[in-house]
Structure 1
Amino acid sequence: IPSKRHGKIFRRLRHTYFNVYRRLFSVVFSVNLIGFFVLLWQSRETGVNHLNVAAASSANIMAAILIRQDYIINLLFRVCWLVPLSAPLRLRRAMAKVYEYGGVHSGAGFAGALWYLFLTVVLTRDYAMAVMKSIPIMTTSYAMLTLLCLIVAFAYPRFRFLSHNVFENTHRLAGWTAVGIFWAQTVLIAQQLRKGTDHSTWGTIIRLLPFYFLLITTVHLVLPWVRLRKMTFHPERLSDHALRLHFKETMAPFSGIAISDAPLKEWHPFATFPTPLGNGGGGSLIISAAGDWTQKVIANPSTQYWVRGVPRTGVLSMACIFRSCLIVTTGSGIGPCLSFLMEPSRKQPCRVIWSAPCPEKTFGYDITEAVYRVDPRALVIDTRLSQKRPDMVLLTWQMYVESGAEAVFVISNPSLTKKLIYAMESRGVPAFGPIWDS
């Protein structure tokens, strides 16, 4: 295997510390920083107007919500699919990173929280100067600021990984509450502004820019829950460590769904893959024992689970803009890989490396056979038969060179995924994989 390109510091900066996710975060945050200084400059004589700050905060919160909507994510992927195979590899490589859109979400969310902090400072100043003497407005301001601080704190990667359920519940419940408080505060501010005018409270509200940002935000918070429904599955226990859930609905290509048995508490996303042609319609998903919830489901599967929204396009869908690719996966990562490998519309050749303990015994003959149907020369590694763990970096490089693939896609645990992607990218190989940003 060749040496890594460039110096260590440059490699770390480019592929780790300043990856696409962080670049998007930086762009969004920089735009807001410029806006902040422009606002200060324009308000140097008259003082900062709290309505402008409220508009900036609500606009960023709206952007953070919109970029997480299923239909917008699917649209982003479909736009990137339009890039032809004849386009330069450099362009296709850049477009394939579309799955790091979460940088926009975190950048806008963090900026929105900082704008709201500034709004609270401005309102506190106005309260102290008796410009807007309203205890309810000040109470809602500090209540919402507290909630935004909680959301930002629990979204920090280290806290998020330590207790994902706490992060998810805080993000959802505190987020809903914060938006509700923002609405209450908007009404309270409108009531203050209408004093001495001929406008009603409603007439004042519709003249406020934050009203429209909040309206769009609220609609999109509700939208996924409008499609909350129970979906019927036929469970097939593959082993004590894996479960396959079959369903009859037809899913969009390369997509996944999140399922739950308690929709207000936790959701678990899984990639879906189609049933082979000739075996009926529908598809299935694989659940592997990776925590308390998955172990409970495998031990006692249900025939119905909650789903919401629309199926969301996944990382592997971007393999369709490359002439050929190598897919590297471990354990139950084979499920998401099958969403691409078994898609009837797929045209390009694919090679597969799959490492798992007792693959056929754990995941069943059908899954193993499906891998070999796609790639008769697939490298399927039974880690129970090995004296030591396989060198996945070396194996990936060797098959990448042997197959002449244009890109490598990795679906594994966070540690190995990051390791393989860094190992390939630092040697000039286009490499992609999930980033666990939510």
Structure 2
Amino acid sequence: MDVIPRPEPCAPSSHLHHISSVSTSHPPRKAEVALSPSHPRATSCASSSSSTREKPSPLPSKHHSWLLRHARHTFLNVYRRLFGVVFALNVVGGVVLAWRFDGHDSNEFVGHLATATAANIMVALLVRQDYIINAMFRLCWMVPLSAPLRLRRIVTKVYEYGGVHSGAATCAVVWFTLFTGYITQDFIREHVREPAIMTTTYALLALLVLLVVTALPCFRFSAHNTFENVHRWGGWFSLALFWAELILFVHTQAPALGPALAKQPAFYFLLLSSLHAILPWLRLRKLHVTPEQLSPHALRLHFTTPMPLFVSLRISDAPLREWHSFACIPSRAGPTAGGSLLISRAGDWTRKTIAAPRPDYWVKGVPVTGVLCMARLFRRVVVVTTGSGIGPCLAVIQDIAGSPLLRGTTSRGTRCRVLWSTPTPLQTYGQAICDAVREVDSQAVIVDTRREGRPDLVAMAWQLYRAEEAEAVFVISNPQLTRKVVYGLEARGVPTFGPIWDS
């Protein structure tokens, strides 16, 4: 097991903490020797002596049957439960609407279908707004540490709010499909005579279906840039078509367009949706940065613009094409002094950025809060991360743990243990990042995968969780590994949280 060591030899002593390394491709070879806060600053990364090795504790069996485990933690996770709640509410609304509809006033019924579509589109847009996301997280932060642990664990799942977004968006397509069916029926019966309405209706339906299909995980992960462009441009065009649809439909019902529109609930839902689609772009601006080349695989962008704690920034070099989100690591002088973004090679855009960084990047909207900030609801947590995931971790744990490197923290005294698995941490990310990790957790478990092989993070996280009597585990890694560790620990009764990559 690798740690941030000191230049002199490290010998085990009574106040050093030992955690065994468990590798998926190699037998346990070395144990992690945690650094005492009293030891000198480290200048390199090296393995500890094999004399410190301890026999790893075996993982307990997973709870419940395979079917029940997957039903609870996969098929019916919080994201899908929220999706189900939204869908169920829409079903109830549909039943009430069908019960009240007497079958005579077709125009009134079609108007209700348009209202339901617009309402769901509004909900889908609002729940993705940065300021609403931040408000949800800040509301959850009000839960005190004295609250029951079960309540705090439930509240922490607020980051799965995307289930509301996808549920509302899917329901909007269902409602508009019904709307299209009734409009088509009226056109066949010659109750609707305007071809423009039919053209707009089918164009909008095709666009909404395209938005939903490209948002499916299988497509979103395999062609993420296409997904982003379809959602950006398709979303704008769908709002424009919806306005055209609403105006054409209302105009066929009443000669006075203005008063007739004002009586339509769909008008206000659509107006609110349009305002929120524009809102982030009103804050489009450039962020001036100072690039620091850490290695051929990692780049750190420093900026002096004040930023709140616990947030990430979306940056772009071409605002109409693609955006990438990175966590803000606060400056040692506090968040008002700016901070930095840690970027590692994970795709075409990051590879290009590391090779040729720019002096400024576009940002829009407001900085948004992420999942790891919910660690402040617990007294003791284990943070598991790999590679450049240490960036978002440092952005949060320096504050919640009350790091002496960071002034003006809002710490509630959360104790953080860090498990970081990455190839050649010192050479890739530099001494400053390694020092920051050690300042947060002097006993940080840092695995150099280039020398030790890939560890069994589930087993190691379990050991840390038990040894520290932690209340929760947070995982920041790539999608596949995050899902594996989260499921592996949740199936053993460990409250585990990690991003779900639903956007």
Give 4+ residue runs of structure 1 displaced > 4 Å after superposition: none
**1:279 and 1:112, CA in 2 relative to 1: closer, same or farther beyond 3 A?**
closer
Find the counterpart in structure 2 of residue 99 from structure 1. 159
Which ranges of structure 1 fall in alignment gaps of 5 or more residues? none
Of residues 70, 74, 79 in structure 1, which corresponds to 2:134? 74
**1:275 offset after TM fit, Å?**
1.1
Q: Does 1:167 align with 2:227?
A: yes
2:329 and 2:339 in contact (8 A); partners too: yes
2:307 and 2:335 in contact (8 A); partners too: no
Find the counterpart in structure 2 of residue 24 from structure 1. 82
Find the counterpart in structure 2 of residue 51 from structure 1. 111
Distance 1:311 1:278 in 2: 16
Find the counterpart in structure 1 of residue 41 from structure 2. none
Find the counterpart in structure 2 of residue 111 from structure 1. 171
Letter in 2 for 1:363: Y
Find the counterpart in structure 2 of residue 403 from structure 1. 468
Q: TM-score, normalised by structure 1?
A: 0.97
Distance 2:102 2:235 in 1: 33
Q: Does 1:236 align with 2:286?
A: no
2:386 and 2:420 in contact (8 A); partners too: yes
Find the counterpart in structure 1 of residue 438 from structure 2. 372
Of residues 305, 311, 332 in structure 2, which corresponds to 1:276? 332
Q: Considering only CA atoms, is the larger Rg found in Structure 1 or Structure 2?
A: 2
Distance 2:149 2:70 in 1: 23
Structure 2 residue matching 1:184: 3-state secondary structure: helix
Structure 2 residue matching 1:354: 3-state secondary structure: strand
Distance 1:240 1:65 in 2: 39
Distance 2:333 2:437 in 1: 15
What's the C-alpha RMSD, in Å, of the aligned pairs?
1.2
Distance 1:320 1:58 in 2: 37
**1:78 offset after TM fit, Å?**
0.4
2:343 and 2:350 in contact (8 A); partners too: yes
- Larger helix share, 1 or 2: 1
1:276 and 1:342 in contact (8 A); partners too: no
Identity of aligned residues (%): 53
**1:428 offset after TM fit, Å?**
1.2
**1:45 offset after TM fit, Å?**
3.3
**1:156 and 1:137, CA in 2 relative to 1: closer, same or farther beyond 3 A?**
same
Letter in 2 for 1:324: R
Letter in 2 for 1:301: P
Equivalence map 1:28-427=2 (5 Å)? 28-46=86-104, 48=106, 49-195=109-255, 200-277=256-333, 281-343=337-399, 344-346=409-411, 347-386=413-452, 388-427=453-492
Structure 2 residue matching 1:352: 3-state secondary structure: strand
Cα deviations by residue, 1:155-186 (Å, 9 ceiling, x for unpaired): 01000001001100001101100110100111
Which ranges of structure 2 fall in alignment gaps of 5 or more residues? 1-58, 400-408
**1:44 offset after TM fit, Å?**
4.3
Letter in 2 for 1:268: H
Cα deviations by residue, 1:213-253 (Å, 9 ceiling, x for unpaired): 00000000000000001110110010000000001012111
Letter in 2 for 1:401: R
More displaced, 183-192 or 154-163?
Answer: 183-192
Distance 2:288 2:450 in 1: 35
Distance 1:391 1:363 in 2: 22
Distance 2:67 2:474 in 1: 25
Structure of greater relative contact order (alpha carbons < 8 Å, 6+ residues apart): 2
**1:280 offset after TM fit, Å?**
8.6
Distance 1:436 1:279 in 2: 27
2:62 and 2:491 in contact (8 A); partners too: yes
Q: TM-score, normalised by structure 2?
A: 0.85
Q: Report the number of matched residues.
A: 433
1:358 and 1:384 in contact (8 A); partners too: yes
**1:223 and 1:416, CA in 2 relative to 1: closer, same or farther beyond 3 A?**
same
2:328 and 2:392 in contact (8 A); partners too: yes
